[in-house]
A and B are shown apart, each in its own frame.
Chain A
Amino acid sequence: MEWLNAVVQGTLLGGLYALFAAGLSLIFGIMRLVNIAHGDLIVLGAYLGLVVTTSTGLHPLLALAFVVPAMALIGYALQRGLLNQTLGDDLLPPLLVTFGLSVILQNGLLEVFTADPQKISAGALETASISAGGLSLGILPVLTFAIAIAVIWGLQWTFYHTALGRAFRAVSDNQDIAQLMGLNRRHIFGLAMALALGVTAIAGVLLGIRTSFDPSIGSGRLIFGFEAVIIGGLGNLWGTLVGGVILGVAQTIGAKFDPGWQILAGHVAFLVILAIRPNGLFPRVSA
């Protein structure tokens, strides 16, 4: 039973990791941009959630109605104002620029919010649980997992059933031809980053309710996000969810052996899968 519990808790945790990863996957899939600042943007989302809840007294889930559009706007502006200029045949400039952005974000947050750990308070939601089949499931982890499924379903639907989604796929397939079909690449990339940071906002707020955070934790979230994307296979969002779940389960099982092994077990699972299937479990983009 204890083991089953670990697997179930890990699976639910995987939903959060999938939310960390979805934005990364989207951005890489559409514009081949590896966003090193992604983890810090998650943390920024958490701080925005904190500011909105403490200043308005709104429940954090309602605060998402402000945090998501705010992050989306930041994403659009960031892409058009900065990141578009770094894109080209060379992969290095966007890596360096997003690394710089990561440092700036961390220090900016440190300046404004100090290094004190913070937490978004969500009242009863934090501790509420239901029991099912002898297991006690926290409402928050269950809700997080459900949101992850809904977000990934929504992204998939957007990709395959809307004009915007076709535009994303066309630009990702062949930028030059897409321009000739009337697509403004810079604008499309801006919209993609807006969408990615909208998802990141959700991830950040859920993270902030779940655990305490401070400006320095971004890089850890970035790694979890990367691992989930790569385990699942590039370009496959459902694969990313599976990747998140594998990572989550490995961590909770690792923690069962020894609490100190939690993070390590996740990385080991990642390395093992990478060794067996270098392109991830369900690759869609051929390398």
Chain B
Amino acid sequence: MTSLLTLDGLCKAYGAVKVADELSYDVTTGDALGVIGPNGAGKTSMFNLITGTVSPDSGTVTFAGQNVTGWSAAKRSHFGIARSFQVPQPFSNMTVFENAMVAATQSAGLYGREAEALCLDVLEKTELLSKANTPAGGLTLLGRKRLELTRALCAKPKLLLLDEIAGGLTEGECQSLVQTIKDIHASGVTIIWIEHVVHALLAVVDRLIVIDFGRKIAEGEPKAIMESPEVKEIYLGIEADA
């Protein structure tokens, strides 16, 4: 298996706040990597660095064998990186289907029928088909989260970045979303998933990293990581916050 994404020594600071501090890791094609860490640790910032909406102060991002550090977000998206947002951000004046079509035609570069077929297929997987013609602004929280996933999938990504997609959902909603994500991973999409809802995360990922103050403080097999004392300490902190 080849390496799909490599972060090497990424650093990024906003004034005195370090959101990435010598951040390095490697994701192999077909992996499902989980990311945990306390609020404000720099997890979302890490996604911004990978997708290219923010550029690092130093360090490199290598994706599919190319150094993409200087690339625009649009170019990276054509190259196969897609993400969902912690706070769903649909194009709210457009329908669910049109939202999906933007990703399919622009990001994946498909045309006409082919794009429509992909969108319908993905909408079925993400259980939004019945909402295809409703304006995205009118969706429920679960609907919006599913739309985030839909749009990301319609971009035909090699790498799918999920940012707290299970947060704020009921247990039942969460379980059906986990199943959807499992299926997506099984279909061969490499995933990095940031999540505070740990049991959802552990149902899918096969490796876990822990981030605190922009640093990677632990990495390894999920069960072992969750048992480690330093993670327990941070994690109890989170549970107390939530």
Q: Report which A residues bind B (CB closer than 8 A).
A: 163, 166-167, 169-170, 173-174, 176-185
Contacts and interface: CB of A to CB of B under 8 A. Distances in A.
Contacts, number: 68
B151 interface: yes
B63 to A, nearest CB: 14
Contacts of A178: 91, 102, 106
Contacts of A170: 91, 94, 102, 106
Contacts of A173: 91-94
A30 to B, nearest CB: 12
Given A169-B94, A170-B94, A180 B102 contact: no
B93 A169 contact: yes
21 contacts: A163-B105, A163-B111, A167-B102, A167-B106, A169-B91, A169-B94, A170-B102, A173-B93, A173-B94, A174-B91, A178-B102, A179-B74, A180-B73, A181-B102, A181-B151, A182-B78, A182-B109, A182-B155, A183-B106, A184-B74, A185-B74
Interface in B91-126: 91-94, 98, 101-103, 105-109, 111, 115
Nearest to B89: A177
B77 A181 contact: yes
B225 to A, nearest CB: 30
The 7 closest A-B pairs by CB, nearest first: A182-B107, A173-B91, A182-B77, A182-B106, A163-B105, A179-B73, A170-B102
A257 to B, nearest CB: 43
A122 to B, nearest CB: 40
A176 B109 CA distance: 19
A180 B77 contact: yes
Nearest to A188: B106
A166 B93 CA distance: 11
Contacts of B85: 177
B148 to A, nearest CB: 10
A166 B74 contact: no
A93 B77 CA distance: 30
B190 interface: no
B51 interface: yes
Interface in B26-75: 51, 53, 72-74
Nearest to A187: B74
Contacts of B102: 166-167, 170, 178, 181, 183
B77 to A, nearest CB: 4
B145 interface: no
Contacts of A163: 101, 105-106, 111, 115
B51 A166 contact: no
